[in-house]
Amino acid sequence: MIWFLARKNLRRAASRTVLLIAGVTVAGALLFDMSMLSGGLERSFGSALGRLGYDVRVVLRGTLPLSTDALMPDAQTVARRVAAHPGVVLASPVLATNLYVEGPAGRLAAVTLGLRPEVRGIIHLESGRDTVEGLVLNRELAQRIGVSMGDTVQLSSRIDPQTGRPGRTSTARVLAIGDFAFDLRAQRTVAMPLADLQHLLGLDGNPASFVVVKTRPGVDPESVVRRIVAEFPSLDAFSIAGLLHQVRQQLRYFEHFSTILTGISLLVAFLLIGAVLTLSVGERLGELAALRAVGLSRPRAVLLVLLEGVVLSAVSTPLALAVGGIISRPLDAILRATPGIPQDLHFFVMSPEAVVRTVLLLMITGTLGAAHPAWIAGRLNIAATLHQEVQ
Amino acid sequence: MTVPVVELRDGARTYQFDGTPVAALRGVTMQVQAGEFVAIVGPSGSGKSTLLHLMGGVDLPTSGEVLLFGDVTHRLRDVALTATRLRRLGFIFQRFFLLPMLTAEENIIIPMLEAGVAPAERTRRVAELLEYVRLTHRRRHVPGQLSGGEMQRVAIARALANRPSLLLADEPTGELDQESGSEIGRLLQRVHHEGVAVVVVTHNAEIASLADRTLVLRDGRLA
């Protein structure tokens, strides 16, 4: 009966109920967006790292795992020794630097990766291949310097500040044009075989920026991390979880931002439901007193009003999820347009956790919002209310 | 000797208004036997509604005792008192207090739903009650589409939904014209003839004339 009455009561002032649902929907949409934002970048980053299939990254101790100019000496030997671990499938050094790349339309600086052919997944070529056996440019760079596949470009490690001419140079044919994982917006990137890059830079001793490691299925990456750290005291190793921990530390302000806005949206939903239901209960005190007189118990009267709050939340929740999902796209686009954000990363990431969190918080808020009017209904003095209603 | 359906033993009710005690009912002693029709009359403010509320267990005496079906109301827990009202009592109000968003039959069903009456039995009883108050043709109408007399007839059907032993009516004709009032009076008399005790607070002499006994209240005391 309570369920029946709760639904009927909400349909009674249909326009007010619709406006209330609209208000709670908007607040809920913001709540959902904040739930997506709170861990979105971390989830997106973790997902992108996971897609590459390299669970562990080895860097020089004391350097940042995601951004370093320091070089690890004899990285080839390090990679070979790491690859010898029973839990490791592959370990390969990666050299990251900047080069000047000159084509018919000009000369531009580009992020350059030196990779061994066995390192796959970082580049997606138009041909569908993902390995580097020659010079690969990303679309942005190819377009800006006016080259296409088969063209020759000039690579140089530095420009003489006096003459403006490139220093050590090398000429190479563009083997492929493709997309690079973790490219920033408008970033120019080039990849080439590791040995060629080391040679161009004049680096001896097989140095690299870091070593990527792929573990066997079922092997805990943390155990590999521990073994590497124990074996190479001068190196640090990070699993994806470890990297995400670093990201989480660096992006804590997003969490704070979303927590504050989550609180505001919950407060708005709470106040909306509380205010409207308090008004509604105030308007039907006589009916509630009569219902109590004909046999509705006090707990059931309380439950009736609480249920109205829950119904309001339940109706608003799917709408809030839909609206929040729609709004998150332009918001994500705005944030991704920030310089320095890899194109593969997203700030607003839809996840089961975000959906469950939103649903639970909205239902709890609806129930809490109805608590005060429910208390009024429960505390109602039947005789006094009936008496007042006929005055 | 049968237990009275309701009994007051020196029942009194005092309200506090801005810290000042105001006695609405002063030491009333009375009984209503099963199947009896009692009218309570008296000037406004004499305590009629207060007496009815005490008899119905929606209010408790500040002194003395009210026994409802042999149980002392102020010793019963709220849940037990509510259950008594639901299953053994029927209430009729001056302002009807029908739920405006429900149809006539839905309003009548409410006490049965609360009492857990089986769906088939509910349907049968609603049809019977609508027939009883001659509103079968109005069963799908909401209170806003009914006249005052029709609303009060729906309220009577609602009060009879769980087959009570005692029907309490507070000024049931107070908002009705003479013709509708007479019809309500006839209905109450019919209910009484079917063995239900009826207590009606009224200013209407015609209704009072139908009762077996008329009690007069003045300044919170039985005259």
pLDDT tens digit sequence for A24-63:
999 999 999 988 887 777 777 777 777 667 888 888 887 7
From the list A287, A292, A389, the residue facing B99 with the nearest CB is A287
Q: Which parts of chain B are beta strand (E)? A: 6-17, 20-32, 37-41, 63-68, 71-72, 89-92, 166-170, 197-201, 213-218, 221-222
- Cα A6 from Cα A69, distance rounded (Å): 65
Answer whether residue A300 is part of any domain.
yes
Q: Which residue of A has its CA nearest to B52?
A: A383
The model's confidence at residue A304, banded by pLDDT at 50, 70 and 90, is: very high
From the list B58, B101, B162, the residue facing A293 with the nearest CB is B58
Residues A35 and A91 in one domain: no
Q: Which of B192, B150, B196, B152 lies closest to B170 in space, CA to CA?
A: B152
pLDDT(A320) > 80: yes
Q: Which of B36, B35, B14, B33 lies closest to B25 in space, CA to CA?
A: B14
CB contacts < 8 Å between A and B, how many? 88
Contacts of A292 in chain B (CB under 8 A): 58, 82
Q: Give the position of tokens 């219902």.
A: A291
| Structural domain that includes position A199 | 62-233
pLDDT(A131) > 70: no
- Indicate the residue among A233, A259, A287 that finishes a domain: A233
Average pLDDT over residues B20-39: 92
Locate A176 and state its tokens: 């492929």
Cα-flanking dihedrals φ and ψ of residue A260, to 5°? Answer: -65, -45
Q: Which residue of A has its CA nearest to B99?
A: A287
Cα-flanking dihedrals φ and ψ of residue B26, to 5°? Answer: -125, 105
From the list B99, B114, B174, the residue facing A295 with the nearest CB is B114
Choose between A9 and A26: higher pLDDT: A26
Q: Which of A91, A113, A82, A48 lies closest to A247 in space, CA to CA?
A: A48
Q: Which of B109, B152, B113, B112 lies closest to B133 in space, CA to CA?
A: B152
- Cα B192 from Cα B204, distance rounded (Å): 18
Choose between B115 and A179: higher pLDDT: B115
pLDDT number for residue B189: 92
Residues A148 and A281 in one domain: no
Cβ of A297 within 8 Å of Cβ of B83? The answer is yes
Cβ of A290 within 8 Å of Cβ of B56? The answer is no
Cβ of B171 within 8 Å of Cβ of A390? The answer is yes
Element (H, E) at A68: none
CA distance A391 to chain B (A): 10
pLDDT(A128) > 70: no
Task: Report the range of poorest mean pLDDT among A13-17, A177-181, A371-375.
Answer: A177-181
Average pLDDT over residues A187-208: 87
Answer whether residue A245 is part of any domain.
no
Q: Which residue of A has its CA nearest to B91?
A: A294
Strand B63-68 and strand B37-41: pairing? unpaired
pLDDT(A330) > 90: yes
pLDDT number for residue A389: 75
Element (H, E) at A192: strand A189-193
Element (H, E) at A243: helix A240-250
- In the three-class reduction of DSSP (H, G, I as helix; E, B as strand; rest coil), residue B119 is classed as helix
A383 lies within 8 A of chain B by CB: yes
Q: Which residues of B96-133 are buried (b: 16+ CB within 10 A; e: fewer)?
A: bbbbebbbbbbbbbbbbbbbebeeeebeebbeebbebb
- Measured over the CA atoms of residue A152, residue A158, residue A161 and residue A166, the dihedral's sign is negative
Average pLDDT over residues B125-138: 93
CA B6 to each of CA B1, B59, B142, B170: distance values in angstroms, whole numbers, following the listed order: 14, 14, 34, 16
Count up the domains in chain A and report the number.
2
pLDDT(A125) > 80: no
Residues A215 and A314 in one domain: no
Cβ of B58 within 8 Å of Cβ of A292? The answer is yes
pLDDT(B39) > 70: yes
Task: Report the range of poorest mean pLDDT among A152-161, A298-307, B168-177, B203-212.
Answer: A152-161
From the list B78, B86, B93, the residue facing A386 with the nearest CB is B93
A218 lies within 8 A of chain B by CB: no
CA distance A17 to chain B (A): 14
pLDDT number for residue A341: 67
Answer whether residue A272 is part of any domain.
yes
Answer whether residue A56 is part of any domain.
no
Strand A189-193 and strand A106-115: pairing? parallel
pLDDT number for residue A321: 96
pLDDT number for residue A64: 66
Torsion of CA B70, B72, B75, B76, to 10 degrees: 50
pLDDT number for residue A340: 64
Instruction: Find which of B60, B114, B167, B173 to mutate to test the A interface (most A CBs within 10 Å of its CB).
Output: B114
Answer whether residue A54 is part of any domain.
no
A293 lies within 8 A of chain B by CB: yes
Cβ of B78 within 8 Å of Cβ of A292? The answer is no
CA distance A285 to chain B (A): 10
CA distance A362 to chain B (A): 27
Amino acid at B35: G
Answer whether residue A240 is part of any domain.
no
From the list A1, A293, A390, the residue facing B91 with the nearest CB is A293
Instruction: Find which of B16, B93, B106, B142 to mutate to test the A interface (most A CBs within 10 Å of its CB).
Output: B93
Locate B146 and state its tokens: 């009914």
From the list B79, B91, B100, the residue facing A294 with the nearest CB is B91
Element (H, E) at A237: strand A235-239
Residues A67 and A43 in one domain: no
CA distance B34 to chain A (A): 20
Residues A92 and A41 in one domain: no
Residues A82 and A211 in one domain: yes
CA A34 to each of CA A259, A260, A323, A361, B25: distance values in angstroms, whole numbers, following the listed order: 7, 9, 13, 12, 60
CA distance B15 to chain A (A): 10
Cβ of A4 within 8 Å of Cβ of B171? The answer is no
Angle at B180 between CA B175 and CA B185, to 5 degrees: 95
Tens-digit pLDDT profile for residues B180-213? 889 899 999 999 999 999 999 998 888 899 999 9
Residues A39 and A80 in one domain: no
Q: Which residue of A has its CA nearest to B113?
A: A1
Residues A260 and A151 in one domain: no
Name all domains of chain B by residue range, CATH numbers in brackets. Answer: 36-58+81-222 (3.40.50.300)
Q: Which of B114, B2, B165 lies closest to A303 in space, CA to CA?
A: B114
Cα-flanking dihedrals φ and ψ of residue A186, to 5°? Answer: 65, 15
Residues A226 and A256 in one domain: no
CA A32 to each of CA A37, A44, A132, A230, A319: distance values in angstroms, whole numbers, following the listed order: 9, 17, 41, 43, 11
Chain B residues within 8 A (CB-CB) of chain A?
49-50, 53, 56, 58-59, 78-79, 82-83, 85-87, 89-91, 93-95, 97, 99-102, 106, 110-111, 113-115, 158-159, 162, 170-171, 174
Locate B211 and state its tokens: 């009762």
- Cα A21 from Cα A380, distance rounded (Å): 27
Q: Are B57 and A383 in contact (CB under 8 A)?
A: no
Q: Which residue of A has its CA nearest to B161?
A: A294
Answer whether residue A271 is part of any domain.
yes
Q: Which residues of B170-186 are buried (b: 16+ CB within 10 A; e: fewer)?
A: bbbbbbbeeebbbbbbe
The model's confidence at residue A130, banded by pLDDT at 50, 70 and 90, is: low
Tens-digit pLDDT profile for residues A72-100? 888 888 999 998 888 888 889 989 888 89
Answer whether residue A55 is part of any domain.
no
Residues A125 and A261 in one domain: no
pLDDT number for residue A55: 83
Residues A187 and A307 in one domain: no
Tens-digit pLDDT profile for residues A369-388? 999 999 999 999 998 898 88
A12 lies within 8 A of chain B by CB: yes
Q: What percent of chain A has pLDDT over 90?
A: 32
Residues A175 and A78 in one domain: yes
The model's confidence at residue B216, banded by pLDDT at 50, 70 and 90, is: very high
Q: Which residue of B has its CA nearest to A2?
A: B114
Q: Are B147 and B180 in contact (CB under 8 A)?
A: yes
- Cα A144 from Cα A177, distance rounded (Å): 13
Cα-flanking dihedrals φ and ψ of residue A370, to 5°? Answer: -85, -5
pLDDT number for residue A343: 67
